[in-house]
Amino acid sequence: MKMYLNSKLDYIIMIRKKFINRKRELKFLEEKYRAPGFEFLIITGRRRIGKSRLLIEFSKKKPAIYLMCENRKFIYNLQKFNRIISEYFKIPIPNFKSFRECFQYIVKAYRRRKKLVIILDEFSYLIRRNPEIVAEFQGIVDEIIANKNIMLIICGSAVSMLQHSILEEKSPLYGRTTGNIFLGPLKIGALREWFNTSLEEIFKIYSVADAIPKYLEFFKGRNAEKEIVENIFNPNQFLFREMKSIITEEFREHDTYYHILEALSKGYTRVTEIANYTYMKSKDVASYLNILVDVGLIQKIYPLYSKTKRGIYVIKDNYTSFWFRFISQYFEEIESGFLESALSNFKNDFNRYLGQTFEKFVVKVSREIDLQPFKPTRQGKWWYKDKEIDLIALNENTGQIAFFEIKWHSFKTLREIIIIINRLQEKAKHFQWNLNSRKEYYGIVARKIAENIKQRLKQKYLLWDIRDIEDRLKY
C-alpha cells in the first residue's frame, strides 16, 4: 500500500493497487503538457472513478500545484489554496482574498522553465458554494494565465454541472478550454490485469464493484462471494456505508433520492412507476431523475434504432444496484450485528442477480472483442411491447446484423440451445432495420455451453461462454 501526501495540511490518498489501464488518457495529457503555451483542460466522471488518481500519476515529476476542493464553505477552500501556495513556494501562509489574487501571485512567483500544472480537483464544490467563481475564472484565464506556460486542469464529479458551467455557449468560460476528458469505468480487460484469477470470479466482483477503481481496491479475487460478504455485509467496512455517504453528501433531500433509487432497484424504470412507488407526482420525479443522471448514478436508455423519446431509467453502476438490492432493506439490522436475514437473502438471490448483471457484463465485453464476424457500427439492447432482445450488433454499411440472447446459465443439451435460438429468431422479425436486405446472425452468450454443442453448432450460430471470452479478452 502506498500513500500520496499532497501537503502537510491537505489530505492523504490511499493507493492499494498499481495504476492500471488509463494509457489513452495519460497519453492525451502528456501531449497537452508538451505542447507550447497555455492549456486548459476539463476532466469529468462519477465519484470514485479514478480522476484524482489519474491526475496524481500524470503530475508525478512535474511542477504541480494541486487543490482538492471540499464540500465546505467557499472561504475554507480559498484558505486551503493559500496554504498550498505557501507550501509550494515556501513562503509564510498568505491571505489572498480571491482566487484571482492567488493566480496573480503564482504567475509572478513561478520562475521555472518547465510548464506548471495547476489542478483544481472537485471544482464543482466551488461552483455550488459560489456560482460566480466561473466568471472570476474567466478573468483569471483571459487576463492572467492565457499567455503563460501553465496547464490548468479543472476536475469534478458533477458532470452536467461542469459541462453547463464551463463548456456550454452561455458559460463565461466557453471556448477557452483546449481539451476535455470524460473518465469512465475500467475495461474488463483491465480487470484481468488487476486480478490474477478466472474471468468468472472477476465477473462476480464486477457485479458488485462494477469497474470502479476505488471499489475494486477492496477485493483480492481469491474467493469473490466470501470477499463480498466481508466487504459489504460488515458495518465497519467502507463499502457498507459508501452508498449512504454518497446520498447524504451529494443531495439535500436524502430520503427522496433514497426512495427513487430503491424504486429503480426493484425494477420500476418509468417515471410514472417511480412516482407511484415514491408517492410523488410524475412532474416532480423528473427533476430528481435528472440530478441522479448528472451525478452518474443512473442513466436513461432507449431501444436500439428506435425513434421513441420514452426511454427508461436504470441504475448505472453495479455497486449501487447491489447495495439497494441486498443492503438497503437490511441496513439497520446489519449495523446492529444481526446478519442472518441479510445473508440469507444474499445466498438465495445472488445467482439471480448475477443473471441481470451478466447482460451488462457481456455488453461491456462486446466493446472490447467482437462477438460477431463483423465490426458493428451500432449496438445495444432492444425492446418493443412484450418483446426484448438482450444485445443487437449491426453494421450500417454492410447490412450485417447479429442478435444475441445472454444467459447466466450452463447449457448441457442441444435442445435448450435450439429453443432459445428459435425464440430469438421470432423476436428478430420485429426489429425493422433493413428487414428485407440484411445478413442475419444469431447467438447465445452464456455462463457455460457444453463443448460438444459448440462444436456441433459453430457453423450455424454464434455460441460463446465465459471461457471463450476469457481466451479472447486482452489485458
Residue-wise pLDDT for 116-128, tens only, equals: 999 999 999 999 8
Calpha distance 90→97 (Å, rounded): 19
Taking Cα atoms as reference points, which of 235, 233, 234, 194 lies closest to residue 212? 194
The secondary structure of residue 230, as a DSSP letter, is H
Residue spans of alpha helices (H) in 180-252: 188-194, 199-209, 213-216, 224-232, 238-250
- The pTM for the full model equals 0.87
Q: pLDDT class for 12, splitting at 50, 70, 90?
A: very low
- Domain 2-182, CATH among 3.40.50.300, 3.40.50.10420, 3.30.70.20, 3.40.50.720: 3.40.50.300
The secondary structure of residue 83, as a DSSP letter, is H
Point out the least confidently predicted range of 2-6, 223-227, 314-318, 392-396.
2-6
**Average pLDDT estimate for 40-46:** 92
- pLDDT, tens digit, 9 for 90 and up, residues 145-195: 999 999 999 999 877 788 888 888 889 999 999 999 999 999 999 999 899
**Do the two domains 2-182 and 188-365 of this chain adopt the same fold?**
no
Q: Which fold has domain 188-365?
A: Arc Repressor Mutant, subunit A (1.10.10)
Calpha distance 466→198 (Å, rounded): 10
> How much is the pLDDT for 337?
94
- Domain positions in the chain are 2-182, 188-365, 378-472
> How much is the pLDDT for 112?
92
Percent residues over pLDDT 70 in the chain: 96
Q: Is there a contact between 395 and 416 (Cβ–Cβ < 8 Å)?
A: no
Calpha distance 62→150 (Å, rounded): 12
Residue of higher predicted confidence among 3 and 421: 421
Calpha distance 361→191 (Å, rounded): 12
Angle of CA points 97, 88, 182, to nearest 5° = 80
Calpha distance 460→381 (Å, rounded): 23
Q: Indicate the CATH number for domain 378-472.
A: 3.40.1350
> How much is the pLDDT for 18?
64
**Average pLDDT estimate for 53-62:** 94
Secondary structure element (H or E) that encloses residue 272, with its range = helix 271-278
Residues forming beta bridges with residue 153, ordered by sequence position:
41, 119
